[in-house]
Amino acid sequence: MASTTISEKIRKQLAALPARPGVYIMRNAAGEVIYVGKAAKLKDRVRSYFGSPHGMEPKTRALRGVIDDFEYIVVGNAGEALILEATLIKRHQPFFNIRLKDDKRYPDLKVDVQNAWPRVYITRRIEKDGARYFGPYASAGSVRATLDLVKKLFPWRSCTKEITGRDPRPCLDYYIKRCIAPCTAYCTKEEYDEVVAQVLLFLEGKSDDVLRRLRQQMDDAAERMEYERAAMIRDQLRSVERTVERQMIATTKKEDLDCFGLARQGDQACVQVFFVRGTQMIGRDTFMLEGTSGESDAAVLASFLEQYYESAQYVPRLVLVPALPDEHADLEAMLTGRREANVEIRTPERGEKRKMVELANDNAKEALELSRVKWMADQDKTQRALDQLREELSLPGIPRRIECYDNSNIQGTSPVSSMVVFEDGRPASNQYRRFRVKTVEGANDFATMQEVLSRRFKRAAPAHEREPSPPGPLSRFAGEGEDGSASEPTSRVEGDAATNPREPGTVNREYEPNRQSAIDNRQSDDAWALPDLVIIDGGKGQLAAAVQVMRELGVYDIPTFGLAKRFEELFVPGEEEPIVLPRGSEGLYLVQRIRDEAHRFAITYHRQVRGKSSVQSALDTIPGIGPKRKKALLKKFGTIKAIREADVEEIASTVGFTRALAEKVKSGV
């Protein structure tokens, strides 16, 4: 539990806080920076962390419990606070902040125009040296791809030698048309500067200007009868045109904007950004964020935009986002100061810009899912995840087979449930099962979960046929006696597990594994084999319902947990406090992946069931009307309305119908 006691040192610091804008820095007992925040009035904002904990969000309560010290920096206004906050978050990567993934500087493209013969290259350090910078890019791969494209389109020099114009011969780049060889004076200073100008225009997204200048150069060379040079420029012109044609058309009118999309799963988030200059999307990039659990989309976007534009070398006139960021007016003021012209942050409601944001959201979802799939493909990570789950959840062994259950319905209609299976940390899709709920009416998640688990575990071996759990303090889920018969579970008390049996799913913190888990009692190719771990997608209510039905079926030895969606907490039967897996850990990532897969599988099946019921015809409910007779009626009358308006004789004259059946149809429609 987080401590609610405020130390005397903190009290004195709180009393000395000024009523001015600034940034505050929270530290733990080890002196590590754990949170950085901004405030329009430091005195009020920092004191709010040390008030009554009852109204606080869980994340804030957890932060308060580990604050040992804090400091603050006073600034002139809210805009300065935004910039300083973003800088400090990037520098310290505090655990409780939303932060761009990886503690590193993001790469930029640098064009050293301050030099006589400029080059284009990648850098991670931005200096006030007169050079032009473009970025930041999310990864070295994305910035290299841009650099390679620019090198193919424009013949600037990539060498670092001193240019004197007296070299005896040019390098290979000249012969493959990747350089115009200033080293041998094959070009003039003005011609080389024109190449660099085209590079700058292209990186700025001004492709139309590049094409216009190239056409003019080609025509000028042809008029001077420099046909070889005209042909070389023609080839370059065609390459740029092909590149521009491949770029997605973003809008029917010229724009200067960045469009952001957001996707979230658990403690991670992905932001996709489209760079739109003119009428084309000239590029895009993907950024991963951590520490987003418990935060709103508005808060996530606000924190990301602060950190992104703190180091971005270009700020557009318009920023499109799926949700308006917190304190967006202050953020607009900061961006306006950086651009030195007005900047607007907007959430479009309709039209082309709305479609653009939706496309960015879709791409962010795909990128986040791809990141998760890549993570699952890493065998070392999945093994570490399983080991961590065994340790954090006090399991009797590595959970080789994990089952997760989720319900899906819309206001109680078309209720379904899903069961997904992960074996050795990977999805075993051939063993997934879906359930159409039969006995529950309305939206009752508890009863639905009980029906589904009852149907599932009735397929498993009865308790008296399974190998009994060994008695003594090493028993993880001691629900059976020495003879293997099911003993009556009692409430949890301290002491020997043999004399104080626990509820199914209750954690024995003293357990040291020395026995095989339930996996020994199953065949690997059996889709209904007993799992080593059951996860219920839901809180304490769903978990209690699940444990009750499992107990009634004699299933006492399978660890069972409820996973709360909002803060990824794992609830344990009989225990008040949930288990919170370490943020950013492989174990938490695997649990999130399993839960998301169960949710996806349930939603997909629910849509199928709902889709079938929505297109069900009134004829389907009439006894004696099968597919052939239904087809015959619809072929003759066309619509249900026409059948309803027809008389009995007309219906009876349809092929395959009698008068009695026609009367049933007439009364049924």
Query: Read out DSSP for 339-396?
Result: HTS--EEE---SHHHHHHHHHHHHHHHHHHHHHHHHHHH-HHHHHHHHHHHHHHTT-S
**The pLDDT of residue 492:** 29
The residues, ordered by sequence, that sit 6+ positions from 315 with a Cβ below 8 Å of its Cβ are 309, 335, 338, 339, 343
**The pLDDT of residue 101:** 62
With a cut of 90, say whether residue 589 has pLDDT above it.
no
- Short-list 66, 20, 28, CA closest to 46: 20
Q: What residue has token string 């080059």?
A: 119
Read off the pLDDT of residues 351-365 as tens digits, 9 standing for 90 and up.
888 888 988 898 888
The residues, ordered by sequence, that sit 6+ positions from 540 with a Cβ below 8 Å of its Cβ are 562, 571
With a cut of 50, say whether residue 501 has pLDDT above it.
no
For residue 616, name the pLDDT band (cuts at 50, 70, 90): low
Read off the pLDDT of residues 108-139 as tens digits, 9 standing for 90 and up.
888 998 889 999 988 877 787 888 888 767 66
Cα–Cα distance list, 141 to 67, 138, 148, 551, 629 (Å): 39, 8, 11, 53, 62
Given a contact cutoff of 8 angstroms between Cβ atoms, the answer to whether 420 and 427 are in contact is yes
Cα–Cα distance list, 157 to 129, 145, 193, 201, 207 (Å): 20, 17, 11, 17, 21
- At 403, the amino acid letter reads E
* Higher pLDDT pick, 37 / 248: 37
**The pLDDT of residue 511:** 30
Secondary structure tally for the chain: helices H, strands E: 20, 20
For residue 8, name the pLDDT band (cuts at 50, 70, 90): confident
Among 184-198, 332-346, 480-494, the least confident range: 480-494
For residue 668, name the pLDDT band (cuts at 50, 70, 90): confident
With a cut of 90, say whether residue 561 has pLDDT above it.
yes
With a cut of 90, say whether residue 611 has pLDDT above it.
no
The residues, ordered by sequence, that sit 6+ positions from 499 with a Cβ below 8 Å of its Cβ are none
Q: According to the 3-state scheme, what is the secondary structure of 114-159? A: CCCCCCEEEECCCCCCCCEEECCCCCHHHHHHHHHHHHHHCCCCCC
With a cut of 60, say whether residue 158 has pLDDT above it.
yes
For residue 559, name the pLDDT band (cuts at 50, 70, 90): very high
The residues, ordered by sequence, that sit 6+ positions from 450 with a Cβ below 8 Å of its Cβ are 545, 546, 548, 549
CA dihedral 113, 114, 118, 119 (to 10 degrees): -80
- Of 3-12, 59-68, 168-177, 250-259, which one has max mean pLDDT? 168-177
Q: For 381-407, what is the mean pLDDT?
A: 89
With a cut of 90, say whether residue 260 has pLDDT above it.
yes
**The pLDDT of residue 330:** 85
For residue 490, name the pLDDT band (cuts at 50, 70, 90): very low
416-420-425 Cα angle (round to 5): 160
What does R_g of the chain's alpha carbons equal in angstroms? 33
Cis ω for the linkage preceding 427 (within 30 of 0) = no
- Short-list 374, 434, 440, 382, CA closest to 404: 434
With a cut of 80, say whether residue 503 has pLDDT above it.
no
Distance (Å, whole) CA 571 – CA 580 = 9
Phi, psi dihedral angles at 559 (to 5 degrees): -60, 130
Cα–Cα distance list, 212 to 126, 205, 460 (Å): 31, 14, 74
For the chain, give percent helix, strand, coil, nearest 5.
45, 15, 40
**The pLDDT of residue 447:** 86
Concatenated DSSP letters for 545-576?
HHHHHHHHTT--SS-EEEE-TTT-EEE-TT-S
In order of their start, the domains of the chain are: 8-97 (3.40.1440.10), 108-205 (no CATH), 255-367 (3.30.420), 379-610 (3.30.420.340), 618-668 (1.10.150.20)
C-beta atoms surrounding 480 within 10 Å? 23
- Burial (0-12, 13-18, 19+ Cβ within 10 Å), 106: buried
Among 95-99, 171-175, 430-434, the least confident range: 95-99
Q: Which pair of tokens denotes residue 477?
A: 């889920």
Phi, psi dihedral angles at 86 (to 5 degrees): -60, -40
Given a contact cutoff of 8 angstroms between Cβ atoms, the answer to whether 155 and 118 are in contact is no
Distance (Å, whole) CA 353 – CA 256 = 12
Cα–Cα distance list, 215 to 191, 209, 211, 246, 302 (Å): 15, 10, 6, 20, 43
**The pLDDT of residue 244:** 60
Q: Which pair of tokens denotes residue 406?
A: 């989720």
- Short-list 188, 224, 200, 219, CA closest to 111: 200
Where b means 16+ CB within 10 Å and e means fewer, 265-300 reads bbbbbbbbbbbbbbbbbbbbbbbbbbbbbbbebbbb
Q: For 314-323, what is the mean pLDDT?
A: 90
* Higher pLDDT pick, 611 / 173: 173
Read off the pLDDT of residues 413-466 as tens digits, 9 standing for 90 and up.
678 889 999 988 888 888 898 888 888 776 778 888 888 898 888 876 444 344
297 φ/ψ sector (left φ>0, alpha ψ -120 to 50, else beta): alpha
**The pLDDT of residue 467:** 43
576-580-583 Cα angle (round to 5): 165
- Short-list 427, 487, 419, CA closest to 457: 419
The residues, ordered by sequence, that sit 6+ positions from 139 with a Cβ below 8 Å of its Cβ are 107
- Short-list 123, 92, 125, CA closest to 109: 123
**The pLDDT of residue 347:** 93
630-635, long-range: CB < 8 A, 24+ apart? 632/656, 632/657, 633/657, 633/665
Distance (Å, whole) CA 86 – CA 311 = 9
**The pLDDT of residue 526:** 61
390-393, long-range: CB < 8 A, 24+ apart? 390/513, 392/579, 392/581, 392/582, 392/587, 393/507, 393/533, 393/559, 393/561, 393/570, 393/579
**The pLDDT of residue 223:** 86
Distance (Å, whole) CA 558 – CA 561 = 10
- Short-list 92, 51, 239, CA closest to 152: 239
Query: What is the helix (H) or strand (E) element at residue 407, kind and residue range?
Result: strand 401-410
Given a contact cutoff of 8 angstroms between Cβ atoms, the answer to whether 217 and 233 are in contact is yes
With a cut of 50, say whether residue 472 has pLDDT above it.
no
**pLDDT over 70 percentage in the chain:** 81
Mean pLDDT for the chain overall = 78
With a cut of 90, say whether residue 534 has pLDDT above it.
yes
Q: For 48-74, what is the mean pLDDT?
A: 82
**The pLDDT of residue 2:** 43
With a cut of 80, say whether residue 567 has pLDDT above it.
no
**The pLDDT of residue 525:** 44
- At 350, the amino acid letter reads R
Q: According to the 3-state scheme, what is the secondary structure of 65-83? A: HHCCEEEEEECCCHHHHHH
Cα–Cα distance list, 347 to 249, 323, 355, 427 (Å): 20, 6, 11, 37
- Burial (0-12, 13-18, 19+ Cβ within 10 Å), 429: exposed
With a cut of 60, say whether residue 168 has pLDDT above it.
yes
Distance (Å, whole) CA 135 – CA 142 = 10
- Short-list 422, 463, 462, 454, CA closest to 435: 454
Q: How far is CA 514 from the centre of its chain?
A: 38
With a cut of 70, say whether residue 335 has pLDDT above it.
yes
Q: Which pair of tokens denotes residue 612?
A: 């079938």
Given a contact cutoff of 8 angstroms between Cβ atoms, the answer to whether 430 and 420 are in contact is no
**The pLDDT of residue 320:** 94
